[in-house]
Chains A and B, each alone.
Chain A
Amino acid sequence: MVTILPEPSRLEPVCLSAVNTPLQRREFLGAAALGFGDVAFRSLLASDGAQRPQFPARAKRVIFLFMKGGPSHLDTFDPKPLLDRDHGKPPPFELPRVTFAKQGNLLKSPWQFRQYGESGLPVSDLFPNVAQCVDDLCILRGVHGTNPAHGGAMLKLHTGSDTFVRPSMGSWIVYGLGSENRNLPSFITICPTLAHGGVNNWGSAFLPQHCQGTPMGTASSSSRDAKVKHITPPGVIGADQRKQLDFIRRMNERSVTESPEVEAMNARLSSFELAYRMQTSMPEAQDLSGESEATQKLYGVDDPVTEDFGRQCLLARRFCERGVRFVQVTHSDSEVQWDQHSKLYQGHTKNAAEVDKPIAGLLKDLKSRGMLEDTLVVWGGEFGRTPTAQGGNGRDHNPHGFTIWMAGGGVKGGFAYGATDDYGYYAERDKMHVHDLHATILHLMGLDHEALTFRHAGRDFRLTDVHGTVARAILA
């Protein structure tokens, strides 16, 4: 979970594709020992044909703002005039073979769209604050997935597979790039939902364990209380625990014998030191008291409506500053949040009110600190929603066409890419399947999705399986 590189200068992305089964054990140990005289690991890389990417990284880190439940593209970033015109009429197109529920007639958006910024891109009244940042957004309107149920779609979006347990996107990135810090995990997920794939959505599956996401709290806890498990010592960290660790070190130094396990045992000595440091570095990173009132306000931490998500966004920035590679922020709680099968208007109004200001705050803050250039912000849900009504005032799941946007990290700003059909049911032009999205994110991180492989159970696995095309048109 925690890998450490001693100096940032070693940050060239590497692909570990050849380090696998026969050497699996060694590789695990090496990875864990990074930063503690990791000559063995480095030489392992050299001797096992580690590859370097053919292109430089555009982004050093990712913040994934995940909107659990499936926000409607038709009511946020993908306006459809024909939907207004034909409101209440039966859909003049064929419905998919498998739909989640019975589909009604066309339902127009309850919100108005307005044009913003120099780019003039339209954003609905749900996101007035994010709209102010539209010239930084790269709006992907032709995204599509495969699975119409939450579980399958979430697993697909996070891991590329809705059939089997596979490593998550963040894990692949950590696997490919290693860590950028000494005291924190490389992949943190703040208040994730345990439903619909749960741990699998940030798990490392067969990748080395240090690649998996470290959860802080769950969707059922407030972000104020979110903590990494067992991070708090039973007493105060102090002389006792220090002496105890020194004693363990003395014991362990004695028991190290001349065997291949010596690396693991050495790594274990270091792992206690790292754990000891994490006990202070994690609370330090989470402590917002040093943030100015203006900054807290920018993220909406001062308003009970935006406080929870605002804190998550602010934490994401703080983790990024400290070298965490992949931070996921989840908008979810004890409900399936954006899942408005009914009362679309009420539900989306509430949801958008909770995230709009914090997201805009994050984008503005990253920009003013010069971090947006090499931080890729990704916003989206596991699918979009149907242009047809469900039960009169709701919309059903729609994986066939929806919107995800990116900002910063090497993508064009004020740019819309791809399109759904006239009613917004199906992605139709410059389509990006979830696999293409993954390929593109990896590309931005300097990783070739076809070369980033791991040998497991007899074959080489990729995040994108045998699919995926980088959407080059969106690269800045």
Chain B
Amino acid sequence: MLVDAAEIPLAQTEFFERKIRPILVENCFRCHDATEKEVKGGLSMHSPTSFRSGGDHGKVVIVPGEPEKSLLIEAVRYKNRDLQMPPKSPLSDSEIRDLERWVEMGAPDPRPELNHEALAPTGMDPVIGRDFWSFRPREAPEVPQGVNPVDHFIDDALEKNSLVGTDPASREIWLRRVTFNLTGLPSTPGELEAFLADESPEAKTKVIERLLALPDFGVRWGRHWLDVARYADSNGLDENLAFANAWKYRDYVIAAFNDDMPFDRFLVEQLAGDQIDNPTEESLIATGFLALGARVLAEPDREKLIMDVIDEQLDTTGKAFMGLTLGCARCHDHKFDPILHADYYSLAAIFKNSESFSETKTGAIKHWYEHDFSTEVEREKFKEIDAAISVAKKKASKLKSDIAVRLRGEARSKAVAYLEACFDFSADDSLRTVSKIAAKAGLHPRILYHSRRHLDNHVHSDVFGPWWEFYQSNNREGMAAFYEAKFSSAVLRFSEIQKEDPKAKVIPDETLEAFRAALFDASGFLAVPAKPEHAFSDIDLAEYYRLSDEARILESRSPDYPAAMGLTDREEIEDTLPIHIRGDHFSLGDAVPRAVPAVFGNDKLSFPDTSSGRLELAHWMAHPEHPLTARVIVNRLWRWHFGQGLVATTENFGVLGERPSHPELLDYLANWFVENGWSIKGLNRLILLSETYGRASAPLSSRDPEIDPENRLLSYFPVRRLEAEAIRDSILHVAGRLDPEMGGKTIPLRNRQMVFNHTSKDHTSYDSLRRTTFLPIVRNHVYDWLHLFDYPDPTMPTGNRPSTVIAPQALLLMNSTLMTDSAAAFASRVMKEEESLNGRIARAWKLAFGSTPTADEIAMSAEFLNEAPDSARQWSLFCQSLLASNQFVYLQ
């Protein structure tokens, strides 16, 4: 059907030039011109062939001679809501007719063909991608005997850049540093004394072993992983339901770090703990990793919801374990990395075989899937608890509707009085004015206020038109008599009719019926305000609040079903999933089979017909030779110690990520890690015992500041601010207030209870003095202490927390109760533990900073304190200053 431009009759060429090209130029080329940087929908209308053959839809846009079969015509006719072009406004009828005629003619297009090869969008070809650094197999760099490998590679790079490392940090600083890094808490004066007194060569090793063995290690390092796992105790996003079982996953993670669970097993359990041989309660809990994401639970389009959840799971899995931004390939080939659009749907096919939702719902809000650990007996018991909650809720709602019915009845009995009172003010008058009038007449102020507005809205109605006539002639008595008569005869007539026919709903006489309807219309002129606060008396309102609170508290305090968030396989297993063109679940393309991305050589792996394939995927990811997995976790570990990864972009090892500063070191550590049983504690030992880790935190003064300004080569230890948790925990610790209790449920809500719905009242309390890791994480309303000190958004994996400085942090440190109470406790502790002014200053210094104050520092402090040396308040101000100072919140 294609016609060469030279063969197009002149008349048709003219028609195209006169009618069609102007339409295209005016309406289409802005988005569909291949010479522009972006072509919408993949459709370029700039040359004959590309125009006809279509875009991402994969459907032919023009069938020459057949307008009814041409998508172009369907789109411009604007009848199909999913396919309307131009998108903003339809073409004129004559333009549409011209296009129809043109297609009928055979769509003659005299324009030259363009060379499209050069314009095709480019990602990275999977075969080429295999040579990209992070996809290449790891190298096996060698290290001379007896040298710490960390120091070997770091010193080598320093030397090549004509830099030298600084001297070791003081022992005080090293101890504070390592204690914070491993436990998130400051070292105590006792620990400092013991370490300073230990002159043996193993002194540092002993400290490290002591710290690694503390449960606080898991609290600190588990918390690091929880950042990556975007952990939270509520859904957030659209509807905020409590994840009251999420804490089990949190505690699982903490235990895994304390038990030094091999990381490959940790990975497999989180992705497929339900699919491994002999799954345990713990391994089922581990799959919470895939269930913790924030979801649009009220999304009415279920298929969209399912694909959105899979996207979240894929993106999180990719970023957390492989440093891959898989989510970028949902709509098209990854623009930069060797991940194809088809690769995405091959992976999605695996997750599509798993169930993320339960069958239960709260109204329009879908529930996530949970592994059920309950026994038959427990289920019976829970049915009773559920019933009791339901009874309590109904009690509150029944009271509310009973009061409303009563108020409605009262208003109806005074209907004429309301109409009469409306003579005394206008719709513009303030509620204050109306209230005075209502009080005099014994009416409800808000109902009266509304009645007057209702009259204004119904000047010409059959029922209220007469009121206006009486009003204009100021005939109160006439009005009252008129409505009294109308209303009572309507009521009387209706009761008679109902006697004859109890099912009757209306009075046949339309006029009379209109009066009856007006009188009984719950949202009409006697409408009772919908808000209890506007409608109820103080006594009724208090009772309603009491019952509502009772129901809420009963629900909050009721035990949860023994269950854990997670994933399970569906019964029906599908091997393929269609590619969703532009990520749209209504535009399905070719089906692709389950597979790992082609860049990895996806022919190696086969997936069973009987299960989702998550287990196979997990085993493949945890394979010792996987190019990314070990590199990514080792890099995370490095980041958590040095504040910057060897690859600075911890979640992105792709083209747009950073290149490793020390590629050989990264590979060496990854190899070492895999060879040593994927042991997190082992790798910690290796790094912490290095000289690199032990360096002082100020650069050498002789150093050229132009070389390595960002200190990526680590010639000195980078100073950094403590994280939100470490700041809060340290303040409590120093003040002697920290509650050491570990684990357990911490969100004060029942599972799937609303954190707050439209009330915006958050009943979560953060008064607990436990470690911050055990405070509830409420998405959409994160505790401000965390939020302000750069706690990451708990909806996306974060390995690299930022560190900002903003004034509200200062407000928190100056004015929050947590801070002032802790400062007071810190002060009273210091005053109790030491007698003399200088002794107390030194004690405070040691507790807060892990060091001894210099003479200057003592003098400066004494000067501040001497205004009122025995005043608890002065000491409290002093102690608060220490806790707010840079020295306290920065780690050297």
B886 adjacent to A265 (CB under 8 Å): yes
What are 13 contact pairs spanning A and B, CB under 8 A?
A29-B804, A32-B805, A94-B81, A112-B457, A147-B296, A150-B298, A163-B311, A165-B795, A198-B236, A219-B760, A251-B860, A346-B530, A350-B530
**Contact bitstring B439-458, A, C-beta under 8 A = 1, else 0:** 00000000001100110110
A268 interface residue, CB < 8 Å from B?
Answer: yes
Chain A: minimal CB distance from B836 (Å):
20
Which A residues are CB-close (under 8 A) to B523?
Answer: 342-347, 393
The answer for the CA separation of A200 and B237 in the assembled complex, in Å, is 8
CB-CB under 8 A for A346 and B760, given A152-B299, A248-B884, A272-B810: no
| A133: Cβ under 8 A from any B Cβ | no
CA distance A32 to B790 in the complex (A): 13
Interface residues as binary, B443-482 with A (CB distance below 8 Å gives 1, 0 otherwise): 0000001100110110000000000000000000000000
* A416 to B804 alpha-carbon distance, docked (Å): 44
Contact A151 B298 (CB under 8 A): yes
A458 interface residue (CB < 8 Å to B) = yes
Are B90 and A428 touching (Cβ within 8 A)?
yes
A369 within 8 A of partner (CB)? no
Complex interface residues of chain A between 147 and 175 (CB less than 8 A to chain B): 147-152, 154-155, 162-165
Question: A334 to B531, Cβ gap below 8 A?
Answer: yes
Q: Contact check: which of B294, B527, B757, B860 meets A250 at CB < 8 Å?
A: B860
Distance between Cα atoms of A181 and B250 in the complex (Å): 43
A169 to nearest B CB, angstroms?
A: 17
- Tell whether A429 pairs with B453 under 8 Å between CB atoms, given A2-B807, A151-B238: no
Contact B885 A349 (CB under 8 A): no
Give the residue name and chain of the B residue nearest to A346 (CB): B523
Query: How many whole Å from B429's CB to the nearest CB in chain A?
Result: 8
Chain A residues whose C-beta falls within 8 Å of the C-beta of B453 in the assembled complex: 349, 353
Would B761 and A220 count as touching, CB distance under 8 A?
Answer: yes
Q: Which of A15-74 contact B (CB under 8 A)?
A: 21-22, 24-25, 28-29, 31-33
A457 touches B652 (CB 8 A): yes
Stretch touching chain B among A231-239, A286-294, A407-415, A438-446: A231-239
The answer to whether the Cβ of A431 comes within 8 Å of any Cβ in the partner chain is yes
| Chain A contacts for B364, CB-based, 8 A | 100, 149
In Å, the complex CA distance between A230 and B820 comes to 12
Sorted from nearest, which 9 A-B pairs have the closest CB atoms? A151-B238, A198-B780, A275-B810, A346-B523, A303-B430, A343-B523, A458-B656, A458-B652, A194-B760
Residues of A near B887 (CB, < 8 A) are 251-252, 255
Do B756 and A195 have beta carbons less than 8 Å apart? yes
Within 8 A of A (CB), among B708-748: 709-711, 716, 718-721
Q: Does B808 contact A (CB under 8 A)?
A: yes
Query: Restricting to A224-260, which residues have a CB under 8 Å from any CB of B?
Result: 228-234, 240-241, 243-244, 247-248, 250-252, 254-260
- How far in angstroms is the closest Cβ of chain B from A199? 5
Q: Which residues on A sit within 8 Å (CB–CB) of B651?
A: 457-458
Q: A333 interface residue, CB < 8 Å from B? A: yes
Contact check, A220 vs B760: say whether CB atoms are below 8 A apart: yes
A sample of 19 more A-B contacts (CB under 8 A), given A259-B719, A334-B760, A458-B325, is A21-B649, A25-B803, A29-B804, A32-B805, A33-B805, A100-B300, A100-B364, A154-B238, A162-B296, A231-B815, A247-B864, A254-B857, A255-B887, A258-B699, A265-B886, A274-B807, A305-B449, A333-B531, A335-B758
Cα A42 to Cα B65 in complex, Å, equals 62
The reply to whether A259 and B804 form a contact with Cβ atoms under 8 Å apart is no
> Is B881 located at the chain interface by the 8 A CB criterion?
yes
The reply to whether B886 and A256 contact each other, CB–CB distance below 8 Å, is yes
Residue A469 interfacial (CB < 8 Å): yes
Q: Which residues of A contact B808 (CB under 8 A)?
A: 1-2, 214, 228-230, 275
- Tell me, in angstroms, the Cα distance from A359 to B237 when the chains sit together: 30
Asked if A165 contacts B885 (CB within 8 A), the reply is: no
Residue of A nearest to B717 (CB): A259
Task: Let me know if A155 and B527 touch, CB within 8 A.
Answer: no
A197 located at the interface, meaning its Cβ lies under 8 Å from any Cβ of chain B in the complex: yes
Q: Indicate if the CB atoms of A258 and B701 lie closer than 8 Å.
A: yes
Out of A152, A192, A240, A302, name the residue touching B238 (CB < 8 Å).
Answer: A152
Cβ of A260 and Cβ of B711 under 8 Å apart? yes
Indicate if the CB atoms of A21 and B530 lie closer than 8 Å.
Answer: no
* Cβ contacts A1-22/B at 8 Å (1 or 0 each): 1100000000000000000011
B486 at the interface (CB under 8 A from A): no
Contact of A209 with B814 in the complex, beta carbons under 8 Å: no
B17 CB-CB contact with A under 8 Å: no
SS of B interface (majority): loop
Query: For residue B761, which residue of chain A has the nearest CB?
Result: A220
In the complex, A21→B523 CA distance in Å? Answer: 56
Q: Is A125 an interface residue (CB 8 A)?
A: yes
Pick the residue among A192, A259, A332, A455 that contacts B718 (CB under 8 A): A259
Q: Which chain B residues numbered 236 to 266 have a C-beta less than 8 Å away from chain A?
A: 236-240
Q: Is there contact, CB below 8 Å, between A426 and B81?
A: yes
Given A431-B87, A469-B88; A255-B760 close (CB under 8 Å): no
- Please judge, given known A-B contacts A258-B698, A260-B709, A261-B720, whether A110 and B457 are in contact too, CB under 8 Å: yes
Contact A466 B38 (CB under 8 A): yes
Given contacts A21-B648, A347-B530, A459-B328, whether A257 and B239 have CB atoms under 8 Å apart is no
Q: Which residues of B (146-202) have their CB < 8 Å from a CB of A?
A: none
In this assembly, does A145 line the interface, its C-beta being within 8 Å of a C-beta of chain B?
A: no
Chain A neighbourhood of B300, CB < 8 A? 98-100, 148-149
A206 to B430, CA, bound (A): 46
**Is A79 an interface position by the 8 A CB rule?**
no
Using known A-B contacts A28-B802, A234-B820, determine if residue A335 contacts B531 with beta carbons closer than 8 Å.
yes
- Whole-angstrom CA separation of A152 from B758 in the bound complex: 14
* B 848-873 contacts with A by CB, 8 A: 856-857, 860, 864, 867, 873
B297 CB, min distance to chain A CBs, angstroms: 8
- State which residues 515-548 of B face A: CB under 8 Å: 522-524, 527, 529-531, 533
User: Considering the chains assembled together, what is the distance between the CA atoms of A231 and B864 in angstroms?
Assistant: 25
Which of chain A's residues have a CB closer than 8 A to the CB of B718?
A: 259-261
- Which chain A residue shows the least CB distance to B821? A234
Does any Cβ of B come within 8 Å of A474's Cβ?
Answer: no
- Give bound CA distance, A284 to B548, whole Å: 38
A111 at the interface (CB under 8 A from B): yes
A430 interface residue (CB < 8 Å to B): yes
Residues of B with C-beta under 8 A to A276: 810, 814
Closest Cβ–Cβ distance, residue A93 to chain B (whole Å) = 10
For chain B residues 571-606, which have a beta carbon within 8 Å of chain A? none
B806, A210: Cβ atoms closer than 8 Å: yes
Contact residues in B for A195 (Cβ distance below 8 Å): 240, 756-760
The answer to whether B336 has its CB under 8 Å from any CB of chain A is yes
Residues in B with CB closer than 8 Å to A193 are 758, 760
B795: chain A residues within 8 A (beta carbon): 164-165
B816 at the binding interface (Cβ < 8 Å): yes
A458 touches B881 (CB 8 A): no
Would you call A285 an interface residue if the criterion is a C-beta within 8 Å of the partner chain's C-beta atoms? no
A342 to B521 CA separation, bound complex (whole angstroms): 13
Given A231-B815, A251-B886, A259-B697, the answer on whether A197 and B809 have CB atoms closer than 8 Å is: no
Contact mask B763-805 → A, CB, 8 Å, 1/0?
Answer: 0000000000000000111101001101001011000001111
The digit string for B871-887, where 1 denotes a CB below 8 A from any CB of A, is: 00100011011101111
Interface mask (A198-213 → B, CB under 8 Å = 1, otherwise 0): 1110010110111000
In Å, the complex CA distance between A68 and B884 comes to: 40
B530 pairs with A274, CB closer than 8 A: no
Which residues of the partner chain A approach B881 to less than 8 Å between Cβ atoms?
Answer: 244, 247-248, 251
Expressed in whole angstroms, the Cα–Cα distance for A195 and B698 within the complex equals 47
Contact (Cβ within 8 A) A196 B760: no
Residues of A within 8 A of B756 (CB): 194-195
- Decide if A1 touches B806 in the complex (CB within 8 Å): yes
Across the interface, do B793 and A206 meet the contact criterion of CB distance under 8 Å?
A: yes
Q: Which residues of A contact B336 (CB under 8 A)?
A: 458-459
Q: Does B657 contact A (CB under 8 A)?
A: yes
- B530 / chain A contacts, CB cutoff of 8 Å: 335, 343, 346-347, 350
Cβ of A475: which chain B residues have Cβ within 8 Å of it? none
